Structure 1
């Protein structure tokens, strides 16, 4: 037996791609040239991960505008002034809002997966945005002629198709990014919004068989953008028991950056869902200091004191650059942290006799 280890999703873009993105936004770079630079970045990302010895790889979300908005990028029925997400350092990110129905994805994630699989024979993990995040696109005042209930029905259908398309295209696992889970408790401390989010996501997950759900995971973190977070001050103990009601086979839990990891691990152990595997975060993408393999090993051994080794995996806390314009972490630092995760996981396996 060994401890599986997986990346979360995004990686910093290389300089050539960042330049192309800036030029494209200014109208100086054509669509085909941008697409070329994106695929070059995907190929380079996969090559570097393979050379590091990653057993499961990702495309680094090199072609996504952001982890959250890729399904609606370029959609005509949007206005820019949607929900605002504030971060602890004072910066914000703003979602668009829908202006008419029916709601349809402009891009499904299997398009990214199919590109990645042209460049590697290794198992590829594909991240998708959770439907709960996209539910925030519907404005509080409603949309004329398009009731919220109908929007949510459309959203569930599109999210199910997004996941199924990736499974059918050969994804090793599909990961739902659920960063809004912890944020919901900041927006609504009563927990009602979180309950709604979990129920909505389960409406999608219920469409899949048990075997398919074994290849579906959920990632939670307090957000990570420009070296800041949006909900790290929210008590994990309020989130995790409800998070584990999601009908998924894997959970990816940000842990390395938590100030009291032992407390969080006790919460996880008490609420551990039947048969699910828990991937614990062992590297912190917003900390510029690269962890040593020994630090990673010790974090895994800490987790193994609370969780059965056969139910344990490792990951990075979050993606390294979930928004395309986030350059707060260098590409080299990200790969160095991934290398530390891989070696630290190997050391932990040795220490545990696996």
Structure 2
């Protein structure tokens, strides 16, 4: 079978879809036309991933407004500019919305994206979902009248479980929790108390699944990747990884290719990886405009295999290529070229390692 390899999630939208999103925001086209272009982009994404030999497919998040906000589409009681601001290294920011009233309910679940992708292939399809820890940041620090924090967190746990379970029951090969706020939390609170709270919340949800179900769930961490910039690459992995591996999942997807010292990060992973868990090592860097060669990917896999048992090893991209729908910093062609290099380079390494 070889070493498994998977994408993280987002792939840049085609120009026709980017234009349609802008036109829809301006009221120039209706929701039906936008939905048609999104469906076409999903079909094209799945077909191209099949063509380059991806063993596990994704929909590229072509229909998501962002990896983070898909459950919020149409949700009443949101202040779009009221939540915490996330600064990126290049100076740009993203601001989360803030919840202004309860009860909190997902307006859209990730299984709807999965079911659309499954229409176009018979290969395994992975589905990314937002971690409940990220959505916990929507609750304002000064609280909400008649909607106390305990009730909000109880609602959030129920909703997050339903989001994950819906994807598992719809046939997802694996469900991946996007946990980019994990590394960011250590920048916001170097004591680690916030990270502990986020881990505990995620485990509260994950504990609702059986061990067999947890084996089909994974978590992705990276320092953010938006507009070819990051929000927390300066946070030491040594402060994150020991706690990350406390999460009750079977798969970990970890950004490595873009790290300043990949060897050190691999040693940290080897020190803390739980027996029986699989770690997918990032071998392509979506922020780097240079397309990796299959040989570069091969060598990164071989380096990882010096630290991690090959039976516990997989490969992935460091991050999504366009986690926000308006991110056009990486072209669609570059993303597919990097993905093809990952697939081919992982196969080369598998041959050399005899798996």
TM-score normalised by length of structure 2: 0.99
Distance 2:346 2:319 in 1: 17
CA deviation after TM superposition for structure 1 residue 351, in Å: 1.2
Partner of 2:91: 90
Number of residue pairs aligned between Structure 1 and Structure 2: 354
Cα distance in 2 between the residues matched to 1:105 and 1:120: 27
- Structure 2 unaligned blocks of 5 or more: none
Paired position in structure 2 for 1:312: 313
Matched with 1:280 is 281
1:66 maps to 2:69: no
Per-residue deviation, 1:82: 1.1
Match of 1:53 in 2: 53
Taking the aligned partners of 1:143 and 1:274, their CA distance within structure 2 comes to 42
What do residues 141-160 of structure 1 show as CA deviations (whole Å, max 9, x unaligned)? 10011111110110000000
* Separation (CA, whole Å) in 2 of partners of 1:285 and 1:164: 29
Shift in Å at residue 119 of structure 1? 1.0
Kept in 1: contact 2:66–2:324 (CA 8 A) = yes
Deviations 1:121-156 (A, max 9, x none): 110000000000000000011001111111011000
User: Residue in 2 aligned with 1:181?
Assistant: 182
Q: Distance in 1 between matches of 2:96 and 2:37?
A: 26
Once the two structures are superposed, the pairs formed by residues 206-217 of structure 1 within 5 Å of their partners are: 206-217=207-218
- Does structure 1 conserve the Cα–Cα contact (< 8 Å) formed by 2:2 and 2:351? no
Matches within 5 A, 1:229-248: 229-248=230-249
Structure 1 segments unaligned to the other structure (5+ residues): none
- Where does residue 8 of structure 1 map in the other structure? 8
Runs of 4+ in structure 1 over 3 Å off: none
How far 1:274 sits from its partner (Å)?
2.1
1:83, distance to aligned residue in structure 2 (A): 1.1
Matches within 5 A, 1:294-313: 294-313=295-314
Post-superposition Cα deviations, 1:181-215, rounded to whole Å, max 9, x if no partner, equal: 00000000000000000000000000000100110
**1:252-267 counterparts in 2 under 5 A?**
252-267=253-268
Aligned counterparts of 1:253 and 1:37: Cα–Cα separation in 2: 32
**Distance in 1 of aligned mates of 2:153 and 2:72:** 15
CA distance in 2, matches of 1:257, 1:270: 20
Matches within 5 A, 1:222-233: 222-233=223-234
Matches within 5 A, 1:72-221: 72-80=72-80, 81-221=82-222
Deviation at 1:179, TM superposition (A): 0.2
Residue 335 (structure 2) aligns with? 334
Q: Secondary structure at the match of 2:208?
A: coil
